[in-house]
Structure 1
Amino acid sequence: MVAGAAEIIRYHITALTNQPSPDLLDLTLCLLQSATTLHLAKTLIRGDQTTRPTYQVSGLTRPFLTLAALYTDDEQLHRGSVKLVNGFIYVRLIIFSYRVLKLDRVFTGPAVYAHAIFIGGLLAVYEAGIPFGVPAYVIQVGLVTSLHRFVADYVQRRTATGRRPQHIELGIHVRLLLFAGLADLQTIKWYQKPLELMSRINDSYGTNQET
């Protein structure tokens, strides 16, 4: 929140006198905000299966946008990257709107949060004005959600009951994806805390296979 707020405030203060151009400080703040977003989303339990991918798309996309803006000195691309941070503001406004409209009586708390995260992201992408940003955003969320399931299935296929993660042959690319949190939460918890969760995860996997 601090890194994101610093980016937005710095951008708008600069915009009072001239069109902001990206520099190394902007890139540093962006990387910090993206890294903390990915870290927090890694073990997020609120919302539904789309919530973590939605956060992760923002954390993965913004560094590339800021790097491209810095390399090309593209002021519009820089503006778009900064505006994506506004998604956090929209999320709070949407949750507040649900409460005012009594929609929280229709939807469960996790559903309200999931709706707010996804819609807030859409609004931020639209405000950013990036060409084809909205459809690209929706496609990215879908791809990251599919990646979560793919990594989980990959790990499951190579898991022998009772074996610890360090004894399982996983490619370096899979280990990097698990480290980044790009898998379903159950698999990440199993990978990080095998002694506490091994039995429960194996039982759950067995139940899923039977169903």
Structure 2
Amino acid sequence: MSRKLGSGTLVIATHNAGKLKEIAALLGPYGLECISAGSLGLPEPDETGRTFIENALIKARGAAESSGLVALADDSGLSVAALDGRPGVYTADWAERQWFEGEPGRDWYMAMGKVEGMLQAKGPGTSREAWFSCVLALAWPDGDHAVYEGRADGTLTWPPRGTLGFGYDPVFVPNRYDVTFAELDPAEKHRISHRADAFAKLVADQFAQ
């Protein structure tokens, strides 16, 4: 039995407004006020782990120690079967602009194009199976932690479709659907996503009576 969250403020270890909004919507019913590490001016730690679990814990522990509050971090990413699970933990890195590509930041269209280009280079008939992984890590300022893992399986499509998601959502079609994550109503995506799967496990552990 893991340590339990109480009501109050929970630091979400992210500087991504879309991720904060999604997480806050999932945790809103449980009496938690979610604020981002970015709004507190907390630094983004170097994600030096080789797994989603390692990186999620690095972020959660960093935010908990810096803020003195319980912190929640997620590390999530897209894995493509035909690319031996890449980009995986390097999902966001694939969207980083190089110095010759303009202002610093992330270009998700470029990242989606990189995945598509690598698949096309493998030739027709290449598997387009892919999955999103999500690891949620809770960390308390005294060092306690808990980890929850989720997954959503699907296939990749091209060109990108939809404007409701972020990251690689416009090219990911979840199993049993014919629309991308970025075309799904947000409430439906919250219900079936990798993050929703991980959150269901967190809620069952943290809030079940």
Q: Could you say whether these structures have the same fold, taking a TM-score greater than 0.5 normalized by the shorter chain as the test?
A: no
- The structure where strand makes up a greater share of residues is 2
Normalising by structure 2, we get a TM-score of 0.25
Give the structure with higher Rg (CA): 1
Normalising by structure 1, we get a TM-score of 0.25
